[in-house]
Amino acid sequence: MKKYFLLCFFVFQTIFSTGQTLHAIIVGANSDNDKILSEGLTVDLKGINEELNLIKQNTKLDIRIHDFSGPNFNSKNLKTTISGLSCDKDDVIFFYYTGHGFRYSNQTDKWPVLAVGYNIFSIREAYVHGISLNEVISTLQSKNARLTICIVDCCNSDVTYIAPVIQDFKGQVNLSFSIRNPERFKDLYEYSSGTIIASSSGPGQVSKCTRSLGSYFTSSFIEVHKELTSISNNSNWEDLIRKAKERTVRLAENNNFTQTPQFDVNVTGVNRPNIGWDGLITGNNHAFRELPNNFQYDNTYVPTQFVIARIVMYSSNRVFFLMSDNYIVEYASNRGGLILTGYRAFTAMPQMFQWDIVNPIGPYQRIIYGVDYIGRIWRFYNYSGWQNEGIIYY
């Protein structure tokens, strides 16, 4: 009888016990007065929600979404929700904001103020309804969740300045990976503990947004998130946020603009791979001096290594990846994985280039590109000389 009672009690506990929950608080600005910005923020929200859906599919986390876009976009709703949020000790909080932001005239901390639900041309309304990211961070950290993530994409400049929105930018391509790796999602969301805070620009800077690809920083964050959870043998928050920052900086520079994201990452969990990569050829990062043994162009690439850099070619909008074993690969959706396209080689022109990209496209034919010291990709043509063909994002 006692055994039967214990068995029933165990079954009862199993049925009614609750698992880990990811509380997603998604805040998207209203931008009816700016069609391009409105379309760009829609791209941001769509991309973040797609990744949240994949987190749900690839982990044991139950996803609860609190949506503050559209008619729900106001400071009262947001403050009520984050203050009333109830978390268990093993839960995850994911806070994402895209929209306008600013700084108070006497502000000293580095984080922006979120322009939640007000007339962006009224300084008085901005000061009344704005919510400082510091306040959001403090409130969410008080919930004592296992992992707290705050990602904010907005300006961090004077309230009277509204950043211009542009049609498009050069050097960014959104990829769709048909196969994602559950273990890499678990590295980020089940095996990590701590706090991640990131905003898209430093004090005094604006954050750019485009019509078709969304905001600079959000686009970079999502693309790195895709790469680390699909074609990499490791994923961790320090690499994810650092790469997203570096790509945003390079993307802005490539479009004659300055935008430097800032972040604080204090996370324990998955260790970073010991790559020691600085973008240059060093003793710890040996490039090839000749065609690698058994290299076959267009063959399947296995096993997967760590993603070092993203290579974007302008004319074709094709994207390649430099892996930690110095092979260069491309994701082929029709093949369901990575294929070999080339390798990183020592350059014969160190006065111009730090390393070369070699594409051996046939038994007796290869294309060589030089990568300069700021990450631009060049190819030499007999009649026109050196031409800039693409960009590297480390």
* Amino acid of residue 168: D
For residue 293, being part of any structural domain is answered with: no
The answer to whether residues 234 and 315 belong to one domain is no
Task: Please answer whether residues 214 and 47 qualify as being in contact, where contact means their C-beta atoms are separated by less than 8 angstroms.
Answer: yes
Average pLDDT over residues 9-35: 62
**pLDDT at position 32:** 55
CA distance 349 to 372: 10
CA distances (Å), 163 to each of 117, 120, 212, 260, 327, in order?
18, 11, 17, 15, 40
Structure tokens at 61: 């986390």
**Residue 5 vs residue 242, higher pLDDT:** 242
CA distance 41 to 98: 7
**pLDDT at position 174:** 81
For residue 298, being part of any structural domain is answered with: no
Residues 6+ apart with CB under 8 A from 347: 353, 354, 355, 356, 370, 371
Q: Is 376's pLDDT higher than 90?
A: yes
CA distance 117 to 71: 9
The answer to whether residues 336 and 238 belong to one domain is no
Task: Please answer whether residues 163 and 210 qualify as being in contact, where contact means their C-beta atoms are separated by less than 8 angstroms.
Answer: no
The full DSSP string for 293-354 is TT--TTPBP-S---EEEEEEETTT--EEEEETTSEEEEEETTTTEEEEEEEEE--S-TTT-S
For residue 91, being part of any structural domain is answered with: yes
Structure tokens at 145: 């969740």
**pLDDT at position 289:** 87
**pLDDT at position 131:** 92
Average pLDDT over residues 355-376: 90
Q: Is 54's pLDDT higher than 50?
A: yes
The answer to whether residues 357 and 242 belong to one domain is no
CA distance 382 to 359: 18
Structure tokens at 300: 């399947």
Q: Is 14's pLDDT higher than 70?
A: no
The answer to whether residues 106 and 248 belong to one domain is yes
The full DSSP string for 169-231 is -TT------S---HHHHHHHHTS-EEEEEEESS-TT----EETTTEEHHHHHHHHHHHHHTTT
CA distances (Å), 55 to each of 23, 48, 163, 190, in order?
12, 11, 32, 10
Q: Is 4's pLDDT higher than 50?
A: no
For residue 10, being part of any structural domain is answered with: no
Structure tokens at 14: 């199993």
The answer to whether residues 314 and 262 belong to one domain is no
Q: Is 271's pLDDT higher than 90?
A: no
Q: Which of 268, 297, 322 is the last residue of a domain?
A: 268
Q: What is the largest CA-CA distance in the chain?
A: 92
Q: Which of 240, 268, 296 is the last residue of a domain?
A: 268
Average pLDDT over residues 173-185: 88
The answer to whether residues 51 and 177 belong to one domain is yes
Task: Please answer whether residues 394 and 246 qualify as being in contact, where contact means their C-beta atoms are separated by less than 8 angstroms.
Answer: yes
Q: Is 208's pLDDT higher than 70?
A: yes
For residue 281, being part of any structural domain is answered with: no
Q: Which residue range forms the structural domain that includes residue 147?
A: 19-268
Tell which residue, 361, 347, 359, 352, has the closest CA to residue 388. 352
DSSP 268: E
The answer to whether residues 263 and 324 belong to one domain is no
For residue 148, being part of any structural domain is answered with: yes
Q: Which residue has the tokens 């806070």?
A: 95
pLDDT in tens, 85-128: 999 999 999 999 998 889 988 889 999 999 886 665 677 777 77
Q: Which residue has the tokens 């306040």?
A: 135
Q: Is 33's pLDDT higher than 90?
A: no
Number of domains in the chain: 2
SS3 call for 133: helix
DSSP 119: -
Tell which residue, 355, 348, 357, has the closest CA to residue 311. 357
Q: Is 170's pLDDT higher than 90?
A: no
Structure tokens at 262: 């800032």
Q: Is 36's pLDDT higher than 60?
A: no
Q: Is 126 exposed, middle or buried (0-12, 13-18, 19+ CB in 10 A)?
A: buried
Q: At what angle do helices 133-141 and 75-84 cross, to 10 degrees?
A: 20
Strand-strand pairing, 147-153 and 92-98: parallel
For residue 284, being part of any structural domain is answered with: no
Say what percent of the chain tops pLDDT 70. Answer: 86
**pLDDT at position 164:** 56
pLDDT in tens, 229-240: 999 998 999 999
**pLDDT at position 167:** 61
Alpha carbon 346 to its chain's center: 30
Q: Is 11's pLDDT higher than 60?
A: no
The answer to whether residues 200 and 319 belong to one domain is no
CATH number at residue 156: 3.40.50.1460
Task: Please answer whether residues 322 and 344 qualify as being in contact, where contact means their C-beta atoms are separated by less than 8 angstroms.
Answer: yes
Average pLDDT, the chain: 86
DSSP 167: S
Of 43-47, 165-169, 264-268, minimum mean pLDDT range: 165-169
Q: Which of 211, 239, 268 is the last residue of a domain?
A: 268
Average pLDDT over residues 260-278: 81
The answer to whether residues 24 and 72 belong to one domain is yes
- Entry pTM: 0.86
CB atoms within 10 A of CB 389: 18
For residue 11, being part of any structural domain is answered with: no
pLDDT in tens, 294-351: 888 899 998 888 999 999 999 888 999 999 999 999 999 888 789 999 999 999 899 9
